[in-house]
Amino acid sequence: MYENLFEPISLGPTKLRNRIFNPPHGTTLGAGGLVSDDLIAYHEARARGGAGLIILEGMAFHPSFAFESAYLNAGRDDIIPGMARLSRACSRYGTAVFGQLFHAGRSVRYSHDGSRPLVYSASDTPDDRYRVVPIPMPNEMVWEVIESYATAAARLAEAGLNGIEILASQGYLIGQFLNPRINHRKDEFGGSLENRMRFLSESIAKTRHAIGTEKTLGVRVTLDEKTNSGVEKEETIEICRALEKADHLDYFSVISGSSASPDGWIHVFPPMAVAPAFVADDAAQLKSIVAKPVLVAGRINQAQTASQILSEGKADMIGMVRALIADPDFPNKVAENRSEDIRACIGCNQACVGHRLTHHAISCIQNPVTGRELDLKPQPIQSKRLVWVVGGGPGGMKAAVTAAGQGHKVVLYEKQSKLGGQVNLAEKLPGRSEFGGVTTNLMNELDRSSVEICLASSADPDALHAIGPDVVIISTGAVPRLPEAEVTDMQLLSAWSVIAGESPAGQNVVIADWSSDWSGLGVAHMLALSGHKVRLLSGASTCGESIPAIVRDQWVGELHSLNVEITCYARFFGAQARTAFFQHTINGEAIICEDVDAIVSCYPPQSNNDCDWMSDLITPDNPSFQIKKIGDALAPRTVEEAVLEGVKAAWSIR
């Protein structure tokens, strides 16, 4: 099955064992601009998992853009030894490694010292997303940056990398030069298309000269920036035609979106609301005009989709960033005909993109070992233990399967008739059904394990005394909480019950959203789609403040289309006589909503104390078993922490 994914291919001088590549992605695993052991371990895991090619994260290379807390710096000679170790670690598995050279131009928010950064672009056109006004890059600096592409590429080649990719995509510096709406220069880098693409074509030509023909050279382009302010697709096609004619490149990599605008940005890190393989048709269009191999990425997380893109001739290689963050062994599993064992990425953008945007090492909510390859490892057990896991949400499921994987005897109790916990609610939100993949993936893992699953049942004191487990992992999750405010003559429902199917009486619904996460946005979306007039009042400075910005931005756009009224800084105070009262969280002034039929509350859930009785059974003279509490049972948070704590609890049982 899917054999075409495993046909070898050459990108210029580099021969690849298969068609699956890991596109560039910032990991925040570097250390002060240099390669760290953590970064090597991260990529080694993906090489071991079978990726044919890894293209390393966008690296800075010139002082006009060098933010070393977040980016590797290929402008430094001392990057060479670490880069050489990384390259050797991956080549041991037959995986080629390229390096991507990246300059963000004006798309920069942070400086080294917290002051507002001085940023450069083609012109002083302000950036709509980062809200900065750049300095037009002086002519001599443009030539200097072009030279720096070449010297940085030579440095990476010296470190043993097999190739170099120049990032000309997603609205970053080269994209800013290409774009006539941004580039208003009067010198040889502005005006005609030929002038606007001079920065790119000179960088490519000089880089090729610097690395010779023994190394691969490619470019990453965006055909559709998914914003009105982007480069026109037809122009990018013209640019690619001209680049192919110049004959310095070995491949084109196609992607979508633009970092420079709020709408385009959503497609740079496409959440689950964006269709799978959404860039494949752009790749096909480019493939019809260039002869060199075309690489594509963008929400490709299934072997079947990947294989189909190849068989339809839309692209020559398939890129997977988040699919390999979630499951580094994806390629090997497909090769071994075990596609059903793959832990599919669900496009939640939480621990990968979310961590990256807050300058933390990337990980995955479903696979906490990602980004922690050196720190989070099992140790051999001393003896086989009997482990009870009470609560079959994501935390309990992960704990059970992980403990069983260590050789323990595990029984998982779930009081409902199905596993999944709160994920069973989360997946009901509009456009969020893919979130249910958390449960599906874990159920697949459980199916392959020795865990005994007891549905519609729980741990009880008699059984506990009679059977005597060695360890009990409490993963009973959380329960909803209603606000203490006074609500009279009006219906007050929790978001959980609305999502589960209870309909608010009446047309006009006010959502009192303390949590400012998925539940407020989701229940507003759900009710607006079912015809209610919805007012969403959030206690935070923006609704959805607690969730990754891209997911929030995409959702806010949807709510605007549905005429949901959004008010922020609003603390719920009470309701009576069809009027809901809120208080501005800063100045305390009243915010009044009239003609209200029902209040839906998104108040923070509280930990479920169902199993607190167990602690009473343990006394200093009778430490008969150990208790480990994880996930929302410890404190209500998200799937990420529940799964991470499940793994840690299971691996701590020796």
Ligand X SMILES: Cc1cc2nc3c(=O)[nH]c(=O)nc-3n(C[C@H](O)[C@H](O)[C@H](O)COP(=O)(O)O)c2cc1C
List of residues contacting ligand SF4 (CB under 6 A): 322, 325-326, 345-352, 364-366
Give yes or no for residue 297 binding ligand X (CB under 6 A): yes
* Distances, alpha carbon 157 to alpha carbons 212, 284, 341, 514, 590, in Å: 10, 31, 37, 52, 64
Question: What single DSSP character describes residue 116?
Answer: P
* Alpha-helical runs (H) found in 408-456: 423-426, 437-447
Given ligand FAD, ligand X, ligand SF4, none, residue 642, with its beta carbon under 5 to 8 Å by kind, binds ligand FAD
Which residue in this structure is represented by tokens 């009279």? 488
Q: Which two tokens stand for residue 129?
A: 């997303």
100 binds, among ligand FAD, ligand SF4, ligand X, none (CB under 5 to 8 A by kind): ligand X
The two structure tokens encoding residue 452: 């005994």
User: Which span sits near ligand FAD by CB under 6 A: 61-69, 151-159, 290-298, 407-415?
Assistant: 407-415
The answer for residues whose C-beta is within 8 angstroms of residue 8's C-beta and 6 or more apart is 15, 16, 17, 18
Strand partners, 627: 472
Burial of 524 (0-12, 13-18, 19+ CB in 10 A): buried
Binding mask 24-63 for ligand X (x = CB under 6 A): xxx------------------------------xx-----
- Is residue 338 within 8 A of residue 445, CB to CB? The reply is no
**Binder among 37, 147, 558, 610 for ligand FAD (CB under 6 A):** 610
Pick 38 or 641: Cβ nearer ligand FAD:
641
Q: Does 391 bind ligand X (CB under 6 A)?
A: no
Under 8 Å between Cβ of 357 and 259: no
> Nearest distance from residue 374's CB to ligand X, in Å?
19
Measured CA to CA, the distance from residue 537 to residue 535 in angstroms comes to: 6
Report the 10 Å Cβ neighbour count for 411.
21
Binding flag, residue 65, ligand FAD (CB under 6 A)? no
Any contact of residue 394 with ligand FAD (CB under 6 A)?
yes
269 part of the interface to ligand X, by CB under 6 A:
yes
Binding segment for ligand X (CB under 6 A), chosen from 294-302, 303-311, 390-398, 610-618, is: 294-302
Strand-strand pairing, 478-479 and 606-607: antiparallel
Q: How far is the CB of 644 from ligand X (least distance, A)?
A: 18
628 binds ligand X (CB under 6 A): no
Report the chain's C-alpha Rg in angstroms: 27
The sign of the CA dihedral 613, 618, 624, 629 is positive
Q: Find the binder of ligand FAD among 50, 354, 395, 430 (CB under 6 A).
A: 395
Interface with ligand X by CB under 6 A: which range of 262-270, 303-311, 470-478, 554-562?
Answer: 262-270
Minimum gap (Å) between residue 146 Cβ and ligand SF4: 35
Considering beta carbons, is residue 220 or 552 the nearer one to ligand X?
220
Which alpha helices (DSSP H) does 530-638 contain, by range? 549-561, 613-617
Interface characters, 333-352, with ligand X (x: CB under 6 A): -------------------x
Binder among 231, 320, 499, 511 for ligand X (CB under 6 A): 320
Q: Toward ligand FAD, which CB reaches closer, 244 or 545?
A: 545
Instruction: Write the CB contacts of 603 (distance below 8 Å, at least 6 apart in sequence).
Output: 480, 481, 482, 483, 494, 512, 514, 515
Q: Which is nearer to ligand X, 167 or 547 (CB)?
A: 167
Cβ 80 to ligand X shortest distance, Å: 20
Is 322 a binder of ligand X (CB under 6 A)? Answer: yes
366's contact among ligand SF4, ligand FAD, ligand X, none, with CB below 5 to 8 A by partner kind, is ligand SF4
Binds ligand X (CB under 6 A): choice among 33, 298, 396, 504: 298
- Residue 364's binding partner out of ligand X, ligand FAD, ligand SF4, none, with CB under 5 to 8 Å set by partner kind: ligand SF4
Distance CA 112, CA 121 (A): 19
| Segment 613-617 long-range contacts (CB within 8 Å, at least 24 positions apart) | 613/461, 614/459, 614/464, 614/472, 614/474, 617/461, 617/464
To ligand X, the closest distance from the beta carbon of 102 in angstroms equals 6
Report in angstroms how near the CB of residue 368 gets to ligand SF4 at its nearest: 10
Look-up of token digits 């004619």 = 245
Strand-pair category, 135-136 with 491-494: unpaired
Place of tokens 């015809």: 531
What's 6's DSSP letter?
G
Q: Choose among ligand SF4, ligand FAD, ligand X, none what residue 631 binds, the Cβ cut-off being 5 to 8 Å by kind.
A: ligand FAD
DSSP string, 243-296: HHHHT--SEEEEEE--TTSHHHHHHHS--TTSPTTTTHHHHHHHHTT--S-EEE
Of residues 252, 518, 555, 603, which one binds ligand FAD by CB under 6 A?
518
Restricting to residues 458-497, which ones interact with ligand FAD according to CB under 6 A?
Answer: 458, 475-478, 496
- Residue 220 is a binding residue for ligand X (CB under 6 A): yes
* Residue number with CB closer to ligand FAD (276 or 436): 436
Q: Please answer whether residues 648 and 492 qualify as being in contact, where contact means their C-beta atoms are separated by less than 8 angstroms.
A: no
Q: Is the Cβ–Cβ distance between 584 and 570 less than 8 Å? A: yes
User: Which of ligand FAD, ligand SF4, ligand X, none lies near 297, with the C-beta cut-off 5 to 8 A by kind?
Assistant: ligand X
Looking at 356, 432, 571, 628, which residue binds ligand X (CB under 6 A)?
356
* Contact set with ligand X (CB under 6 A): 23-26, 57-58, 100, 102, 167, 220, 255, 268-270, 297-300, 319-323, 352-353, 356, 362
* Contact set with ligand FAD (CB under 6 A): 348, 350, 365, 390-396, 413-416, 421-423, 425-426, 435, 458, 475-478, 496, 499, 518-519, 522, 608, 610-611, 631-633, 637-640, 642
